[in-house]
Every structure is written in structure tokens, then in C-alpha cells.
């Protein structure tokens, strides 16, 4: 990993000759040293995807002008959709929790040990249970009760809070409320959920019960971006573990916890590292 | 593994005190040496499952009387459902295929090398493609075309054929026809299918296409007993493999082939070894 | 799981006819209801292993007499080696750490959320780093510096401390000191270590560096009981994850952390649940 | 996959600014459409690796001049090591076997079904066992007995045979002879072996016995290029499967067979697709 500030550019567009040369030449001719380049062409729908990162030390274009220059000189010509990030910008994450604590503890331990390159200024919950464990790390904890009747107004409060803390993305760490479409629209591809099944199997509630009843031999966990349709957003990470007839629903819940926390943490890491592009409800994950 | 003939008894019944003692005492007091014992209690529905195997050398009850004696002395009292097998009885398997050959080749290679403890007297197909590869191993090949209009009568022919070859179970090695309910009823828990997804995700046709479209990060294969409801029978084995955005549908098909053949072979092995009990559409797999 | 107190008996002995009947009859005829029974015969060395658990409610023999009665009535006759535990006895665990915190945080989060059925009265370290995170949970923290010159006397201090806290087993959560043979002898099969490779590959120091240099495509973690020989004790759990040429040593360290904490937690769970028997440097893991 | 002929260029060199632009510009400015580009920089040793593939339809430089032009215009300037392949050139593979047949059958089934993009003109063995199964596919079978005394002269015969069949690479499908250094030197990075352990654990003979004795909870298989040092060549693919105390050595052998054949087939596929670069005894595997 580089110590310097670097630029990370995510691009997708219709595939066409000359794109790679145009992009790399933009960087090279302005004195940028390419640290990472990965590209992918989806041949079925002829879409070109790229993640490219370069060292900004000695780069001829100043940081706040790069987006404009790249748009003018390259992106517009090839009708590219782009996202530009800088490695020095630390994303600010809001952690949403309910009562279950395994993903919460896992993410906070990664945060506290410096493994996760984010700021976590705020934890939001609909219960009081995890206040102590949050506040002892110096993180603010806001308990906002949600029920059928007050959802709209409570989500308004949340949005105000997120704005106040300048939050750039949200992680639902087994948060047991369904977000409204309206709320989701404020954070497109910026809300990461962990669902405790290998989606699209067992969406919705009580997936371990359903898995047990169906008699599956594997259980899974899926992290995905939240969209308007429940558990149907673009999948970021999935993993599974083998179970057997010996495992009760309680065993599955226990075994699943370890899966959920690992799968969610991987997804958060990908998001924070700007490894993810979404196209037609599928993710491209650059590694 | 023992060289002698051994008895394999599969039992399930309502859980109640004294069962294990009653069973093991039946074997021990008649001079049987227990080679294998595994039991499982499903606490949710209070069902007791056992697989027990014992050496028949020196056993006081002659082989063809064991079922009767066990029923009289033990099973009736505890209302047990039982199945009795003998290790010297080699199951006779019919292999159903269409055009895809990977599971076919894999099972026949295991058969030819002696890995699979079965007889395969006959291959049934709705196409001619795999005749040569079957017949060169000295196995009969019957091509029975099936379409919407002739299904009932062609299945009659198949049933006659299976009777003629004294077939004890059927393996659908990517056989691309749906069996009728009537046909399935003739072979309850004796027809093994391989489905190319991690069921219950993506049942029915073209699961790799659906998996690709949904953007999953794992693909799977599931072997199960065939029941009246399509792809909904009791699951015997499942396994998965990770894929990425780089994998096209064709890549998934290719990667999936290796999964399918391994998962199907494991299921066939379990069936042949009498490792499987079915209860409420779930399998108990003794290993 | 039962709410009542239950007895857990672990047995191994030379395999011989009648053992299962003798054991189950002891329990059944004294009014015990068997909750769990698993047995295994190692055919290569003719050793019989069993884990059996029964409900003590209504059992005719009082708890503190069970060991004596079983020895007299069954174990002596069959020359069995036995261990008897009771589900109501909560094991007391000492957690040894150095500077790396991932296993430490993971175990403490499981402890705090009630997932781990142990008491953790004390954390022992050769560094001060994790004092705060320990003490805020109300657990005592003892920093005992160890170097070449003071090892013997510092280990004496540790032994006194462990006795004082009435510790029944020790978990080395990436504790970076090698324990002396003498120390290990005090806790036979009661010290669990996590090693960051798939042993027996890469024992000793810096296994990720060695793995990277060898160009392996998988990395692993191994939890094992500590014996006199370094990284050569009986293996309890192992797991691996795929890596690629893209992964640097630092990536392996990061990826490995998640493996280590999961593998160590599974081992601790097995130990606490009395699932483990050791025979000739191999573990039998009842699940 | 493209239907047209395409060029595949594998490159490695000291990392330096401008390489990507130089390479992509060479292709683009001569009318080549890039089908695939993957690059990797090993930051530890500052080596740049690339695999790039482009459509030759309409490419300005004729096929047999591409190597020369690229060397002159690009490779020499940046001191690149390069390998150039064409998708229309079908590699010719010699299959080496002894008595065990699982990898043999698996590769031939892939070959017969068209899954493997190679020609297999010849099978070489030190036993007669697999002659029939080879010859019925129309492949020549040569039995060349090897013992301590005749090794040098028999390997000479093999080299003559390989030349006669115009073989481009060799696959050792559980071939139970160690090749001499001299023989290996004739096929650098062109001999693929499958070893039945997760190397570097358990090199040499009888790895399943050693694995059982050590009490490991996973067994593995490793495919690698053969070098002078036994089982120490660059690793191409590895995979593992979980085992338990219940698995005897025979069980491990059986379970391992499925691993071995899958891992070997993946390695052969990577070799045939020119996905592999070797640098300092490690492989870069482009996927």
C-alpha cells in the first residue's frame, strides 16, 4: 500500500476500442504512476469496467481539478460513468444495530484495532442494549425507536442525524427494521446490509428456521447494498458453511453468527476501499 | 471395512428412554459384534434416529429371520420404523442420462475402477449420444424418446425395463426430463437427482442463467431424492463454489460441472451404503 | 440443550464386544435419560471412543458418587479411561495475550454476549497493550514480562496466579511466548493455542512469510493443545482460505486474522463442551 | 470467448512508469481490439506481470511477425520477458499414468467431451493397466517400464517418443515415478504434477498416511510444475477438504481422489489457456 495520497477512479461504459489507452495515457502523460489497474469486460452486455489507482505525488493536475479534466479529456468522449475517490479521504460510517451484538462487536473491534479504514462517529439503534459498549469507545449512541406508526418521522430524525455527523455510508449490522424506500433513496449504494442466508434462498424473516425446515446441508450469509426491494439489492459478498441433520435451528443461528460477521466485514472493507461498481443490480468487485 | 457379511439396520421412532439399550442388547445377547453405531435425536420433533451395523459371523439368528425377530422383540414395542440391509447385497442402479456427459463419465469411471459398490446393468436415455461410451463397458443402453404426447406410454416401457433388469434405484445424471408423479411413486426415496443450484435457490430450468442474472457470488449443486414436487425432495448433499463478476454463464456451467459430479457421486455413495434416512422431507445422513 | 444438570462421560478403551450395552445399561437401569451418544471405533488401533450425556434428574446415583459407581460397575472391568463432567460446572479460563488483539476481542465479545459458556476471571499478558479493554469488562489483567533470563521465575508467578484464580484451562490468543515444558506439564490437554498456518506446514515463527515465499494458494489456521514439542500437539480444529498471487504477506496477515479467530473460538467451544478426547496425539471431536 | 484467432501475450519485467501505456498503445495503434487485460505488480520485489489478449482480425502486423515487432518496439526497451501464444494453436499433451485411474479417467472424459482444449496423442505408463481404456479412445499407449537400473535409457526412449508425437507439455496423473533432473530440464514449466497433500505439508510418499498419523482436520491436493527438487516446484492450484477422526487412511485416499482430479484438471486448464507465469518459484495465475 502506498503512503502517499492516491486517486482511485472507477469507470464503466459501453465497451469500445481505445479506452484502456485513453485512460492510461491520461495518467501517464500527466506524470501519474499507476499503482493498480484492473478491468473487466462483461461480454454479454458489452460493458467495460475499470478500477485504476495512481500516485498523486508529482501528478500535473491538482487534486480538485482531476474530475473536471478527466471528464473533459476522456470520459465525455467515451460516455463513461465515473467515480473518483482519494485514498486520504476517510469514509464516515454510521452503524445501525438492534439487539444482536456479534456483527457490532466484530466491526468495532476492527475499528478499535485500526484494521478498518473508517471513522465511526455514531451508532444508531432502536434499542438501548448496546449503548454502554458503544459509548465506552467514545462513539455517540442514538436510540431512535421505530414502530409502524412513527416510522416516517423517526426516519426523518435519522436523516437529520446522519447529516449532522456527515455520514458517507451506513452499515446495517443485524438492524431489525426495514428501511423505507424514501430513506433508501437518500443513500443509493451506500447502505450495506447483512442477510443471514445465501440469497436468493430464504429472503425475509427467519431464514434459519426456513433453512432447517427445508433440510439444506449448507447455510450462508449475504452482504448486499440495500435497495427498495427487500433482500434483492446487489450482492457484495456471500459465504456458506456446511451443516448437517444434527444442527438444530439454534445451532444454525450460532454457526451463522461467525459467517455473518466475516461476510459483513468483507463487504464493508470493499466499500471503504472503493472496490465496488454496481451495474444492473450486480456488483463488480475489484480485489 | 469388514470382509464378512454384516447387517445394517436403520431405525427411527418417537424418542423414549431405553431404546438404545433395547437395540444394542438385541445384537449383543445374540452374539453380534457392533461395527458401527450412530444415533441422533431431533429434539424439536422428539424423533430418534439410528444406524447400527453388526458382524453376522456367529450371530445366533439366521439372516432371513433377523427382520422378523427384531420386529417381534424390539421394533413393535417401541413403534419403530426400520429398514434392514446386508452388506453383501449389491444394489442395482439404473443410470438415466440425456446429452450432457460429465456426471455420466464420472459415475462410470468410479464404477469401472471398483470405487462404487453397485451393479449398473442399464443406462436409459432419451438420446443416442452416450450409447457408444456405455456399450464399450458392456452395459446395455436403451434409448427411449420422451415427448409431451408419449410420456405415459414411454414411462411404462421404462418401468418394464427397470423390472426386467431388477433395478433397485435410479440415478438421474443430468437427465433432462421431468418424471411423472406416477413414475416417482414406484421408486420412493430410490431416485436420486442432481440439480445445478444450491436449492432452494433457483429451482427449475436454467439455474446458472438465473444465478448470473441475480449476481450471486457462489454457485452450487444439490443432490436430492425425487418427489412429486419438482426440485423439492429431501436434500442429500450440497456443495458450492465461489464465482465472481468475471464468470459468464458459460464459465458457471463449466465450473458447475465439477461440482455436480462430485455432489452426485457423494449422494450415490451414501445411498449405496445405506447411510440415509428420510423424515419429513429432510435426510439424516450417517457418516 | 437441556436446562437440567447432566452428566457427560468421555470414555476410551480397547474395543471389545458388549461395551455399548454395559454403558447404556448403567445409565438406563439407574433412571438416566440419554441425551447424547456418539461413539467411534478406530479400527486401525482397535480403540473404542464414546461421549455420552444423560439427564441427572431422577438419576438413582447421586452426583458425587457417579464416578465411583461407574468405575466399580463398568470401567474397571473393561479397562476404560474415563473423564466425567457436569453441565452445571462452568470452566474457568485464563486468556493469554500479547499485542495482537483480534482473537482477544473475538473471545471477549463471545464472552460478553453469553455465547461462550465459561468464566474468564483473568487475562495474562507480557505487554500492557490490552489492559484497558480487559479491565473495562471487569476482568483482572496481569502483565508479567517474560524474557530469556526470567522465564522460570515468571512462569512460577503465572502458576501461582492461575491457582489463585482457580483456572481450569488456558487459551493462548496469539500469545507470543513459548511455554516451558515444565509449565505445560501442569496443564496437560488444558492449554489451547492458535497457530497461523495449516499445520504441519509452516510451524514456528512467521508462517505467513513462509507461505508467501512458497507461493501457496491456501493459507490456514490450526488450533491445538500445547505439548512439549512446539506446534506439534493434537490438532483440534483447522480451516483454510484461498489466496492468490495478488496477496502480499500483509494481505495474508489480514485475511488470516479472521481465520484465526474463528478456528480458535471453535476449539475453545469444543473444549468447554467436553467434546474432545486425545489419543496418541490425535483428537476425537464429538459434535 | 472469441471465435477468431487471438494473440495472448504474457509479460513480466521490473515495474516502471509507462509500461501499460506502451503495451496497450502497441495493440491499439495497430488495430487490435483488446479482449482481456490483467496485470499485477508484486510490490515486494517490484515486478510487473501482465496477461493481455487481443483479436487478430484486422491487426496490422501479420501473426508470425508480432513477436519480432513487439520485441523491437516495446519489450527490449523495458527489458521485458515475454511469451506469445495464439488461441488457434492447440497444445499437445502427453498423459503419464501408473495404475491409479481416477485422474486419468477424469482428464480423458474432459478430453472426449471437448471440455479440454488440447490434443492428447499419447499416454505413457510404466504399467499395462490402462491400455484398454486408452486405446478405445484412439489414443496411443506406450508402456515403458522404469526401474532403478534402466531409468536413464528408458527416459531417453520417452524423450524420443515425446518428440515423435510433437508433445508440448506433460501431465503426471498420479504417475508413480520420480523424473530425473535431466528429463525435467527438457520441459521447464511444461510438466504438471498432482501431489496428494496440501504442500508443503507431507511431501514425498504416502502423504495420506502421514496426514492420518498427524491427526490433521483437513487434507489437500496440490498441482505444481515439476522442478528438480521433489514436490517443491511452483504451485498452480491447491484445494482441501475437511476430514475428521472418523476418517481412516482408506477414507482419506477415497476422499482425496475427488480433490486430486479437480485440482489437476484446473491446473491443466490454466496451462492450456496460457494463464500462468512463473517467477521465483511462484505462479501468477490470471483468471
Quote the pTM value.
Answer: 0.96
Contact A240 B240 (CB under 8 A): yes
Of A44, A200, A244, the CB nearest to B214: A200
> What's the rounded Cα separation, in Å, for the pair D162 and D144?
13
On whether both D33 and D55 belong to a single domain, the answer is yes
**CB nearest B215 (choices: A44, A246, A282):** A282
C177 and C265 part of one domain: yes
Residues whose CB is less than 8 angstroms from the CB of residue B263 and which lie 6 or more positions away in sequence, other chains included: B194, B221, B222, B223, B237, B238, B239
CA-wise closest residue to B6 among B85, B83, B118: B85
Q: How far is B113 from chain D (nearest CA, A)?
A: 7
**Whether residues A64 and A126 fall in one domain:** no
Check residue B44 and give its pLDDT. Answer: 83
| pLDDT tens column, A118-141 | 999 999 999 999 999 999 999 999
The answer to whether residues C114 and C244 belong to one domain is: yes
**B216–A200: do the CB atoms touch at under 8 Å?**
yes
What confidence category does residue B152 fall into, taking pLDDT thresholds of 50, 70 and 90? very high
Put simply, whether A273 touches C (Cβ < 8 Å) is: no
Q: Is the CB of C265 inside 8 Å of chain A's CB atoms?
A: yes
Residues A60-96 have pLDDT tens digits of: 999 999 999 999 999 999 999 999 999 999 999 999 9
Least Cα separation, residue D218 to chain B (angstroms): 16
Query: Does A228 lie in the same domain as A109?
Result: yes
pLDDT of residue C44: 82
Q: Are residues D156 and D36 in the same domain?
A: no
Q: Who among C202, C248, C282 is closest to D215 (CB)?
A: C282
* Substitution target from B47, B215, B233, B263 for chain A, most A beta carbons within 10 A: B215
Q: Are residues C245 and C114 in the same domain?
A: yes
Which residues in C lie closer than 8 A to residue D218 (C-beta atoms)?
198, 220, 238-240
Question: Cα separation of D218 and C239, whole Å?
Answer: 7
Cα distance between residue A58 and residue A2, in whole Å: 14
- Residues of B involved in catalysis: 231
Q: Quick one: pLDDT band at residue C1, thresholds 50, 70, 90? A: very low
CB atoms within 10 A of CB D137: 15
Is residue C202 domain-shared with residue C266, that is, in the same domain?
Answer: yes
For residue C109, being part of any structural domain is answered with yes
CATH assignment of the domain containing A39: 3.30.70.260
The reply to whether A115 and A249 lie within a common domain is yes
Tell me if C20 and B17 make a contact (CB, 8 A cut-off).
no
Closest CA to B283 of B78, B12, B79: B12
Are both C141 and C182 inside the same structural domain? yes
Would an 8 Å CB–CB cutoff place C198 in contact with chain D?
yes
Q: With a cut of 0.85, is the ipTM above it?
A: yes
pLDDT in tens, A241-262: 999 999 999 999 999 999 999 9
Per annotation, catalytic residue among A106, A231, A247, A275: A231
Q: Which of B104, B107, B97, B118 is nearest to B266 (CA)?
A: B107
Query: Does the pLDDT of residue A2 top 90, yes or no?
Result: no
CA atoms within 13 A on the CB side of C266: 24
Measured CA to CA, the distance from residue B117 to residue B3 in angstroms comes to 13
The reply to whether B1 falls in a domain is no
- When scoring C35, C101, C244 by the number of chain A Cβ atoms within 10 A, the one with the most, hence best to mutate, is C101
Q: CA D70, CA B12: separation in Å to the nearest integer?
A: 72
Task: Note whether A6 and A35 are within 8 A (CB).
Answer: yes
- C1 contacts in A (CB within 8 Å)? 250
Enzyme catalytic residues of D: 231
Number of structural domains, chain A? 2
Average pLDDT on B255-270 reads 98
pLDDT of residue D256: 97
pLDDT digits (tens, 9 = 90+) for B89-115: 999 999 999 999 999 999 999 999 999
The kind and range of the H/E element at B274 are none
Tell whether the model's pLDDT for residue B2 goes beyond 50. Answer: no
Model confidence over C237-268: pLDDT tens digits?
Answer: 999 999 999 999 999 999 999 999 999 999 99
C-alpha cell at A119: 471513522
CA nearest neighbour of B20 among C83, C27, C14, C2: C27
For residue B278, the SS3 value is: strand
Q: By the CB < 8 Å criterion, does B5 face chain D? A: no
Q: What is the pLDDT of residue A267?
A: 98
Taking only the tens place, the pLDDT of each residue in A145-194 is 999 899 999 999 999 999 999 999 999 999 999 999 999 999 999 999 99
Chain C nearest C-alpha distance from A240 (Å): 13
- In sequence order, which ranges of A76-130 are alpha helices (DSSP H)? 76-78, 102-112
Looking at residue A164, which CATH number applies to its domain? 3.40.50.170
Would residue A1 count as lying in a domain? no
**In the predicted structure, residue A1 carries a pLDDT above the cut 80:** no
Residue carrying the nine cell digits 514456528: C204
pLDDT of residue D3: 61
* Residue C1 forms part of a structural domain: no
* Cα–Cα distance for residue pair B242/A266, rounded to 1 Å: 14
Cell numbers describing residue A265? 466485514
* Residue D1 resides in a domain: no
Residue D74 lies in a domain: yes
- The residue of chain C nearest to residue D216, with distances taken between CA atoms, is C235
Residues 6 or more apart whose CB falls under 8 angstroms from that of D219 comprise D197, D198, D208, D211, D240, D241, D243, D252, D255, D256, D259
For the segment B150-171, the average pLDDT, to the nearest whole number, is 97
B186-234 pLDDT, tens digit each: 999 999 999 999 999 999 999 999 999 999 999 999 999 999 999 999 9
- Whether pLDDT at B1 is above 50: no
Angle (CA) B43-B46-B47 rounded to 5° is: 105
In a domain, D163, yes or no: yes
Write out chain B residues lying below 8 Å of A234, CB-based.
215
Asked if B78 contacts B19 with a C-beta cutoff of 8 angstroms, the reply is: yes
C107 and C56 both lie in a single domain: no
Where are the alpha helices (H) located in chain A, listed in sequence order?
19-29, 66-70, 76-78, 102-112, 131-135, 151-164, 181-186, 207-214, 249-272
D96 and D172 Cβ atoms separated by less than 8 Å = yes
Whether residues C239 and D218 touch (CB distance < 8 A) is answered with: yes
CA distance B220 to B243: 10
* Domain span holding position A228: 92-285
The answer on D108 and D200 residing in a single domain is yes
How many CB atoms lie under 10 A from the CB of residue C78?
16
Q: Domain boundary residue among B64, B86, B108?
A: B86
* Concatenated DSSP letters of C80-141: -EEEEEETTPPPEEEEEE-S--HHHHHHHHHHHTT-S--EEEEEEESSSTTHHHHHTTT-EE
Cα–Cα distance measured from residue B123 to residue C139, given in angstroms and rounded to the nearest whole number: 67
What cell numbers appear for B265 in the block?
Answer: 457421486
Strands of A56-103, DSSP E: 81-86, 92-97
| Chains with 3 or more CB pairs under 8 A to chain D | A, B, C
Q: Which residue from D42, D215, D238 is facing C217, i.e. has the nearest CB?
A: D238
3-state secondary structure of C274: coil
H/E element, B176: none
pLDDT reported for residue A3: 61
Cα–Cα distance between B284 and B236 in angstroms, integer? 8
User: Could you tell me which residues come within 8 angstroms of residue A197 by beta carbon, excluding any fewer than 6 positions away?
Assistant: A203, A207, A208, A210, A211, A219, A220, A221, A222
Q: Does A17 touch chain D (CB under 8 A)?
A: yes
Task: Name the region of D231 (left: φ>0; alpha: ψ -120 to 50; beta: rest).
Answer: left
Cα C31 from Cα C25, distance rounded (Å): 10
Q: Compare C101 and A287 and report the one with higher pLDDT.
A: C101
Which parts of chain D register pLDDT below 50? 1-2
Strand partners, B41: B48
Q: Please tell me whether residue B287 adopts helix, strand or coil conformation.
A: coil
Final residue before a domain boundary, out of B33, B60, B86: B86
Mean pLDDT of chain B: 95
C173 touches chain A (CB under 8 A): no
Q: Does D20 touch chain A (CB under 8 A)?
A: yes
Q: What is the DSSP letter of D32?
A: P
Residue B138 lies in a domain: yes
Per-residue burial over B168-186, b if 16 or more Cβ lie within 10 Å, else e, is: bbbbbbbbebebeeebbee
Measured between alpha carbons, how far is B282 from B199 in angstroms, rounded to an integer? 13
CA distances from B33 to B29, B55, B60, B147, C23 (A): 10, 5, 11, 53, 15
pLDDT at C209 over 60: yes
* Residue where one domain finishes, among candidates B86, B111, B140: B86
Amino acid at each position: 500500500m502506498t503512503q502517499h495520497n492516491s486517486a482511485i477512479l472507477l469507470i464503466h461504459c459501453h465497451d469500445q476500442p481505445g479506452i484502456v489507452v485513453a485512460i492510461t495515457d491520461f495518467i501517464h502523460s500527466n506524470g501519474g504512476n499507476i499503482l493498480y489497474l484492473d478491468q473487466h469486460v462483461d461480454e454479454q452486455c458489452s460493458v467495460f469496467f475499470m478500477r485504476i489507482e495512481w500516485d498523486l505525488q508529482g501528478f500535473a493536475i491538482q487534486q480538485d481539478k482531476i474530475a473536471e479534466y478527466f471528464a473533459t479529456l476522456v470520459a465525455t468522449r467515451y460516455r463513461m460513468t465515473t467515480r473518483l475517490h482519494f485514498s486520504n479521504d476517510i469514509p464516515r460510517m454510521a452503524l445501525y444495530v438492534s439487539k444482536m451484538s456479534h456483527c457490532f462487536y466484530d466491526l468495532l473491534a476492527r475499528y478499535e484495532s485500526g484494521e478498518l479504514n473508517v471513522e465511526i462517529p455514531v451508532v444508531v439503534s432502536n434499542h438501548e442494549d448496546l449503548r454502554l459498549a458503544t459509548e465506552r469507545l467514545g462513539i455517540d449512541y442514538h436510540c431512535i425507536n421505530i414502530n409502524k406508526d412513527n416510522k416516517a418521522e423517526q426516519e426523518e430524525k435519522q436523516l437529520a442525524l446522519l447529516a449532522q455527523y456527515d455520514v458517507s455510508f451506513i452499515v446495517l449490522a443485524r438492524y431489525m427494521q426495514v428501511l423505507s424506500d424514501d430513506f433508501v433513496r437518500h443513500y443509493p449504494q451506500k447502505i450495506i446490509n447483512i442477510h443471514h442466508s445465501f440469497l436468493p434462498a430464504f429472503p425475509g424473516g427467519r431464514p434459519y428456521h426456513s433453512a432447517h425446515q427445508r433440510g439444506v446441508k449448507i447455510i450462508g450469509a449475504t452482504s448486499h447494498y440495500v435497495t427498495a426491494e427487500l433482500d434483492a439489492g446487489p450482492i457484495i459478498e456471500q459465504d456458506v458453511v456446511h451443516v448437517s441433520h444434527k444442527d438444530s435451528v439454534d445451532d444454525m443461528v450460532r454457526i451463522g453468527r461467525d459467517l455473518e460477521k466475516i461476510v459483513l466485514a468483507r463487504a464493508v472493507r470493499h466499500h471503504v476501499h472503493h472496490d465496488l461498481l454496481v451495474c444492473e443490480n450486480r456488483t463488480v468487485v475489484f480485489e
